[in-house]
Structure 1
Amino acid sequence: MNNSLIERIKNLPTSSGVYQYYDKHNKLLYIGKAKNLKNRIKSYFRIENDKILPNPSNSHRIQMMISQVDYLQTILVQNEQDALILENSLIKQLKPKYNILLRDDKTYPYIYIDMSEEFPTPAITRKIIKNKNVKYFGPYTSGSREILDSLYEILPLVQKKACSKGKKACLFYQIKRCLAPCEGKVNPTEYNKIILQAIYLIQNKNKLLNELESKMLTLSEKMKFEEAMIYRDRIKKLQGVENFSSIDLAKLYNLDIFALSYEGKNAILSKLFMRDGKIISSNFEHIKSEYAFDENSIYEQAIINHYKEEIPLPPDQILIPSIDSKESIIELENFLQNHCKRKIQILTPHRGDKKNLIELAFKNANEILRLQSSRSYAEDTLLIELKELLQLNEIPFTIEVFDTSHHCGTNIVGGMIVYKNMNFTKENYRRYILQGTDEYSQIKEMLTRRANDFCKTPPPNLWLIDGGKAQINLARDILQSVGVDIDIIGIAKEKIDAKAHRARGGAKDTIYTFETSFHLKPSDKRLQFLQKLRDEVHRYAITFHRQKKQKDMQKISLLEQKGIGKASVKKLLDFFGSFEAIENANPDEIKEVLSKKTNH
């Protein structure tokens, strides 16, 4: 470590802020926050005889990271609250080597009923509805739609909000699914009893399941097997928290519980949601790291991700097994106060019901980790071999793969698929409509758009591009422009007569890195893994291309039906650029374009 770093540490400010450690290759190693930057950063180092060493009282992971630090940067902020939020944002955008990155929690759905309405109807929301008379139930990590559909099938609720404002009973009344308040066949007092039944079923899952099972058996007895299967699948979905059905505490606790279990390179963050003394839903996140897991950092990040926006039914308390300091708890509680608009305590219980709930969350995390361990080991082994083969900076636990598709320069699209935690995560796939006229500009447009989105969706460990050296260099320039350092490789098929050779098991694919290019035997599992990723993004991109082409064919057909021939359609597309622009053009513009003579 150099003298300039020693001088920098000696002259650090004492204000709140965020610090960033870099190695001698200008690669970002770590991002942290501090109420007092000078005290916090000095705690990482030990200076002896004008030499700077890692502080031996820190963890092995931190010591290993500090041994690579060449220089540091700081960003000053007003207070520790701002530092907390900025740290979380920068970790997501820049993905430092030694920080563990949790995915952003999606906003879970809630069932709500607006009790101020004359004839209330249950519905789903992910946001707060500004009305004091709204009752919320949730959050539901899964099954909210199934609960709602079941209520409308079991009880004669007003099926649509517009129905109560109608003047004549509809089909729902005829099939006994509604009591027709539109014709005054039920008054608000009688209807309120039905709403209370709905609330009872929402709050008592076993009663709801009994009702569904009864309907399923009745349909089976009537030989209506397809309808019975719908109920069977719905019951299966709603049994997701069956393990917790016996948990019904006498005290009406409203708690969110987090517990982390880890082994090797894999961790499970378990989340339980308790309302009115009952655990109503659960979820987990699979986390992978090449280095040791920092529990405090993970719990902090999990809380920030989950409560970054005001939620309809926040807990009174959050239970976590441990956190490093009282100061960290106060920071997080202030964050919750600002974002949830109410005081939420963070507790680390050591006895009683709440300690038992922590143990329950641990038990479930351990079981999920055990079930995934054998598959994780095989997957991790392959990824480690891939890291060594390609000389990557880190194990590629998350991979984004890109490809483009078009036909003779028309319907140009791109696709990005994501491989994470041993699966294709299709909810993270992205489609791009592109404007570029050549393959290079198309891939540039797609990668630039993805890189600009890192602030919303964090970068992966690796970009895999269907292409060669030129595409890799392009990707590196784009990543450098946004300050992100991740690994990039390319894979390209052998070309015969300028066309990709796709013979199964016989194609000589070339793998490209910054330094070199090489071939692997068709039987090599590392090559087969990369081919699987490349083939999936190719399928995804070409499917989107075909869908877009089909839509355009339909639009051409509609224009031809209006008396505009194919030559005229081409002339309009050449001028306006898209069917949307043609639709938005006024008739005089279209007439003027069609009247122009084509230059040859």
Structure 2
Amino acid sequence: MSLQDKLPYLPAAPGVYIFRDGNGGVLYVGKAVSLRQRVRSYFQDPARLPPKTRVMLQRAADLEYIVTDNEVEALILEANLIKEHRPRYNVLLRDDKSYPYLKVTINEDYPRVFVTRTVSRDGARYFGPYTAVRDLRETLEVLRSLFPFRTCKHKDLSKVERPCLNYHIKRCPAPCGGRIGREEYRRNMEQICLFLEGRQEEILKQLRGQMQAAAAALQFEKAALLRDRLRALESVLEKQKVAAAGRGDRDVLALARSGDLSCVALFFVRGGKLVGRENFFLEGTEGLERAEVLTAFLKQYYGRAEFIPPLILLSDGDKRELTAVAGWLTLLQKKSGTMDRAGAAGQPDGKPPEGRPEEQGGGKKRALVQIKVPQKGEDKQLVDMVAHNALLALREEELARTGRKRKEQALERLAAVLGLPGPPHRLECYDISHTAGQETVASLVVMLDGRPAPREYRKFHLRTLSGPDDFAAMAEVLTRRFDRAREERQLINTGQLSTKEAKFHQLPDLVLIDGGAGQLGAARQVLQQQGLAHIPVFALAKKEELIYRPQDEPLRLQRDDPALQLLQTLRDEAHRFAVSYHRQRRTRRSLKSVLEEIPGIGPVRRRALQKAFPGLEELQKASLEQLAALPGMNRSAAAAVYRFLHGEEKEGV
């Protein structure tokens, strides 16, 4: 039976419909108030359908449907099926499964807080998802400074005899050593949860009460600790922006789109203050209405969010569809238990936040979820601000994508002109720098997929050379690099070293040498001795910009060739890194030579001066008081240094 033959049998009831391809794979999942009316809308004049829908229908070989009792049930089922199958033609959050969360293990006697990418129903609380991992880790550091907590994974703390280093540096209250009780520790964790919910005012109130109680009980050390936490938290809150006149909790979402890519900016307002923001990118939105895209995001994001505010403001939306989504989110609140936390917790007077509707249920007030598309007033101004931020984020992402695409094309071009089996992932470049053979150093810089990877950069000080010999220097640095790689791989295989601790274990897909045929020959010889002759190695000479190849004529590319430009960028970065390190070594050596001439300045004081001042110029700018304050120095020694550098006598010395 063809797809159109099934149309007369579709019921005029709410439910979910599923398009499948010839292999049974799920192409698209949708929900409908009336299955018959919604599915029939697909089989009209193809010219009136979005391009994406036309392509989907061309691939569709079968149609299934599931009838539900109401539209909210259909929405729940649709969200579950999309999450399970991730259909190609549905709007999907990009890299949905990789977004990180903050996990608070409140199911443990002494909870921990850490970053995770897996959410499960294990009794813990999850906050997120977040898109900026760096910001997330900074938040974690702020929490650890305000409310120290344990990071160890011990399940039975009674078996731990003494606290770890974190206790001594005041990063952990040491529940393992019995230095903090269970109730006090869990109060700290409750305050962390309030912080992550954006309810910092509630934390301030609690801290003030605890501080006053400790002072009244003459526990002055504890009161001082609470006072310091209070001041630190107030300092953090001073940086937050007041976003609305009311003190209510709300999320504000706005959409920006370009072609097949859309960005949803989500701002979190808690107690009237903007406490955080995230940007999410969605694929496959071309041809869809703006309201459809935002509704699809609401379903995917709030279907797994820890906290659902009572009010959600949108830049676009369909009233009927949003009513169903609001009903579904209210059910999620009840199921997760976040509704009670979404009550009056953020209000000092215990009153419900502004804009929060209430319903009576079981003799207890419960919050409903409202979704609005404001047309005027402060809420509209707030949505407009978020929309502007969404547009800026979208433009940045488009520029980043363009840059990534150019790098991919450059790597593909590089593989083609150099005869590589495929685009190289890890590129390494080496350069030598010295002054007439003095302070010879070498640099190793790395590109990963065409982008510089500064964390992988390495520098070498070559001590075995007695004169200017670039070939010998190149041979030494490559030998040291690949000897270390072999040693680290052996340690990793035996479990004595982790890959995170290793620095040289990864082998390159391409080696580039800053130089000509001589440097290339030295590099090839080392790779052959190391049993790594299979690694492609080339040299790029300055001025002529010729690419020297093993056993072949030098290759000359056009100046605007993306492959040449990529190699030039890599070579220039290696040269910059090597020259910078060489200047640093030369400056330190010059300073050391000067200090050796000053009477009364021995090895200990020389090291102190070299550590405090990177070069002679910085040392000359130092005052007598600064010199005398250094470890191992006194006023007499400081005066000797000052007189020697300035050629003058200092009165009163």
TM range (shorter): 0.3 to 0.5
Higher relative contact order (CA 8 A, sep 6+): 1
Structure of greater Rg: 2
TM-score if structure 1 supplies the norm length?
0.44
TM-score if structure 2 supplies the norm length?
0.41
